[in-house]
Amino acid sequence: MDDLSFGTVQAAMNEMSSIPARPIELAIEPPFRLRTLEVTPAALEIRRGNDVVTLEPRVMQVLVALHRAEGRVVSREELLELCWEGRIVGDDSLNRSVSQLRKALADEDGVSVDTIPRVGYRLLISQNPKTSATITEVPPARPRFSFRAKVAASVALAAVCAVAGALTLYAGSSKSWSASGVRPLTQESGVEMFPAMAPDGLTVAYAAGPGFWETRDIYLRNVSVGDATPVRITNTPYADESAPVWSPNGDRLAFLRDMRDGECSIVLVTPPNGAERIVSKCLDPYAGLAWLNANELIVGFRPAGTRARHLVAIDATSGRSRPLTNPPADMLGDSAPVVSQSGRWVAFRRTAAIGSDSIQMLDTTTGREQTLTDDGWKAAGFAWANDDRTLFFSSNRGGDFGLWAIDTARRSEPQRVTLGMLPLGRLSTDRESRKIAVETGRIQANLARVGRDGGSALPITMGEGTDRDPDVRGDGTILFASDRNGTNQIWTRQTDGRIVRLTDMKASYVYAPRWSGDGERALFLGVVDGRTDVFSIRSDGSALTRLTSDGAPKGRAIWAPGQRRIFFTAVNGSGWQLMSLDLASGRSAPVPDSRGIAIVERAGTRLFARRSSASPIVELDPASGAVRALPVDIAVSELEGWAPRGDGIVHIRGSGTSAELWITGWNGVSRRLAPLRQAPRFPLAIAPDGSVVTPQLIADNRDLMLIELR
């Protein structure tokens, strides 16, 4: 049964229900109380005094639906209709939302969510609870954690507690692994990232700041003391510091410092308050950092004029470097190195294109590389066990980000360790492999609309994941990519507000969907089995077709006027190139004079493009793709999302809480349209009325957890 017929059946069932079948729009839901709790659906908040917990939109919708029922049982089918618009979702989605809701209400005596087996749920509110709710102040000497943070930590614990039953790893017949406990390491607001366990397992170093795209500093925390006060060891204005790593004997800490003006350095310090020393400049602040041995560090390096990132070893005393890896020139290259305790093996991520990763292992004694996984699924973080052969890694290979393990000696298939109830990122273990620190949390972004002449960004989608890469059809139907159901798929927002899923692909990533001129079909790019190709699909979700088969990294695809050909950008050799594909013959060819073009966009029948480096936007001939300059230079950086409009180029400046929406007219004059909460590289779209549809960050939280192993 497809989404439309399923929705029709659900609507018919709900006509006989005591609860109206109107989907829950949180923006217009009035506030209400649950004993001492004040619930504000539009703000996604539950408040008790000065403590506030923020729920995911879907969890808040479930709470509103149960509250509307006034103690009556709400069937699972009704909840799907009210909160998921009748879409087909697995039981896990509803179960997870109910589980999170129960945790959010756990501290409120007399309020609970009751399960009626094989039927549904009801919200119970006792008039005479056994005890009255109290709020206890945390002593001033210890950090005070908000109600929201406590609930988030509880959810994180629930997500990884599956380890206790599932984590049985292998190392031949010599050793097996299991989890003896899971607990939060950090619970502050903002992000705590890049965990680095000290070799003795007593301390974790990490980077922390107000958000993913804000500046961060390096902190230390004692992992053996609950709610330990962190020690801040850097405070560098206008610098983003990340990737702390301990030297093999734990006496020194190295990290990366990016001054946001292109100046990046590898810094060495003796914690907690020793003097800093600059080891070397670094050319890529996003590649990660690792100690190869007591005096050499591994860092990413991108040679001038190339696309692929290499890994090099840098002498911490002299600053001299030597190459370690040499990835193919048409890839994004190598990053995230982690070294086994013996120093013989280096595991790292090799990225062919966005969303297409393989896990590689380098033998430092011979220089020989081995491929551990080559199926393209994303790999976020790695950590070695002390047996020198078991590699833990976080990946979305099952569709969601969970923890996996692989025996690198046997070269067997990776084994799943945890379900991805919460995404897991970077990992770190101590010398004895008694503890593993992990990142957990999520980026949540929904689509918002800004009027043609500016103003506030008003939300138009509500989902649990990241809604991104929008495009708007002539009738206002929005096409977008999202992982809102736990996997990467293509969706539409209909003009009546319904959200409809178009694809059901096992892809590690899908992105950049674009409507055809008549709005009957759409193009998008998908990464399947590690290969990136252009796909087309009808507006009703039928006739999914793979249009290219070369698998090369690609940036954008767009219909040419007339819809008999498409243009797409791909890596040809070591750089970007605009390609033209004739849909009738299936033949493609590079467009002359288009080297370096990575992004193409359309406004009506006009086509525009930007080269991969910061350079002016150019116009493309709609028939041939030939490049021609605009009357005035309009340049956007590689990190800026942009879209052409009739009166100029709309683009985003800055990121995070400092992001802003601007327009630069064809006369070169710029003006600010609206403040945003944005991530770099998020594309935007122009609606027929000139308004702007853009992803808007809802949450970018990241915390650290500790899994104790035995």
Average pLDDT of the residues in 637-643 = 81
Annotate 203-247 with three-state secondary structure.
EEEEEEECCCCCCCEEEEEECCCCCCCCEECCCCCCCEEEEEEEC
Determine the average pLDDT of the residues in 84-90: 62
| CATH number for the domain whose boundaries are 3-125 | 1.10.10.10
Strand 379-384 and strand 369-376: the pairing is: unpaired
The ranges assigned to domains in the chain are: 3-125, 166-442+701-709, 443-700
Q: Kindly report, residue by residue over 445-456, the tens digit of the pLDDT.
A: 899 999 999 998
Element (H, E) at 587: none
**82-to-29, 60, 74 alpha-carbon distances in Å:** 13, 12, 10
pLDDT in tens, 383-429: 999 888 999 998 888 666 778 889 998 877 888 776 555 678 899 99
Rounded CA-CA distance 383/403 in Å is: 11
Is the confidence at residue 6, as pLDDT, over 50? no
Residue pLDDT, tens place only, 600-625: 898 888 899 888 766 789 899 888 88
Quote the pLDDT of residue 178.
Answer: 62
> With 0-12 CB in 10 A as exposed, 13-18 as middle and 19+ as buried, what is 79?
buried
| Cα(218)–Cα(209) distance, integer angstroms | 9
The average pLDDT across 646-667 equals 89
The two beta strands, 74-75 and 458-459, are unpaired
Name the fold adopted by 443-700. Answer: Neuraminidase (2.120.10)
Rounded to whole angstroms, the Cα distance separating 426 from 368 reads: 25
What pLDDT is recorded for position 562?
A: 85
pLDDT of amino acid 16: 29
Evaluate whether 3-125 and 166-442+701-709 have a shared fold: no
Average pLDDT, the chain: 82
Which CATH code is given to the segment(s) 166-442+701-709? 2.120.10.30
Q: Is-contact 406 394, C-beta < 8 A?
A: no
pLDDT at 175: 57
Confidence check: pLDDT of 563 > 90: no
Question: pTM value?
Answer: 0.74
| pLDDT (0 to 100) of residue 145 | 38
Q: Is the pLDDT of residue 151 over 50?
A: no
